[in-house]
Amino acid sequence: MEPRKLAAGNWKMNGDLAALGQIDALLAGAGDAACDVLICPPATLIHPMVARVGSADLLVGGQDCHAKDAGAHTGDISARQLRDIGASHVILGHSERRADHGETDADVAAKAGAAQAAGLIAIICVGETEDQRDQGRTLEVIAEQLAGSLPQGATAAYTVLAYEPVWAIGTGRTPTVAQIAEVHALLRDKLTARLDDGAQVTLLYGGSVKPANAAEIFAIPNVDGALVGGASLKAEDFAPIISALAAA
Ligand code: 13P
């Protein structure tokens, strides 16, 4: 069985209630069952977005969760709470959270374990900095992040991996096809070695994915979709990316 294809939008800290109109445009324009489509809006918009989507085929997710189910953790949201309001996925270990909030691989693994237990699909992010790439350490860094961030008992049904080179996020720069292929092959090898169903884990590429480069990226072996930041904010940009994935 092939991994499921996924076009995922990460709205980051962007969007207000008025931005939900993009969902209507996306539902009208996309509607292709050949791949899953997910939007991870800021926490304030998750429930209104779920309500707006109704029974249509668009998934909604969170951008982070706490490792515990409940308790004295002011400002945090648990995986169970995300599931309760209709989220299907949660992004974990995004490089912005690793940088802004000091999240470690162990933190990410604990959160991913909580997500899995709550019935949420964890989108675990890994990626090297520009310095690490320049030092020739990319594969070592990715292998270490993957080994430390994957929770015990991970399965393909509840795990998505996103390769997001830090230097490609929001910069308009993307790795070469060969560079993406090399990292995704490593991810597939490691996942297959560690999980019985590692061959079925969906692997996303993220970092300056646009309508203009989507088809080329989706043609790379072991790329099963994308985690899209800026270009997911407007339906007119995200819809052609979804179509490119559906056609790949
Ligand atoms: P951009 O698509 O804006 O480069 O962001 C990528 C990203 O960080 C998605 O999680």
Q: What is the CATH number of the domain that holds 227?
A: 3.20.20.70
- Please compute, for residue 209, the number of CA atoms within 13 A of its CA located in the half-sphere on the CB side: 34
Q: 33 pLDDT exceeds 70?
A: no
Q: Give distance in angstroms: CA of 76 to centre of ligand 1.
A: 23
> Does ligand 1 have an atom closer than 6 angstroms to the CB of 123?
no
Give the residue numbers spanning the domain of 33: 6-16+26-67+84-232
- In a domain, residue 114? The reply is yes
Closest atom, ligand 1, to C-alpha of 125: 10
Rounded to the nearest 10 degrees, how much is the dihedral formed by the CA atoms of 111, 112, 113, 114? 50
**Domain tally, the chain:** 1
pLDDT per residue as tens digits for the range 190-241: 999 999 999 999 999 999 999 999 999 999 999 999 999 999 999 999 999 9
Binned at pLDDT 50, 70 and 90, residue 53 comes out as: very high
- In a domain, residue 50? The reply is yes
> Does ligand 1 have an atom closer than 6 angstroms to the CB of 113?
no
- In a domain, residue 243? The reply is no
- In a domain, residue 48? The reply is yes
Residue 11, Cβ neighbours under 10 Å: how many? 20
Residues that are catalytic: 94, 164
- In a domain, residue 247? The reply is no
- The secondary structure of 203-243 as a DSSP string is EEEESS--HHHHHHHHTSTT--EEEESGGGSSHHHHHHHHH
> Does ligand 1 have an atom closer than 6 angstroms to the CB of 229?
yes
pLDDT per residue as tens digits for the range 87-138: 999 999 999 999 999 999 999 999 999 999 999 999 999 999 999 999 999 9
- In a domain, residue 41? The reply is yes
- In a domain, residue 73? The reply is no
- In a domain, residue 102? The reply is yes
Compute the distance between CA of residue 94 and CA of residue 116 in angstroms, rounded to an integer: 17
Q: Is the pTM of this model over 0.85?
A: yes
Closest atom, ligand 1, to C-alpha of 12: 10
Which two three-digit tokens encode residue 213? Answer: 């480069």
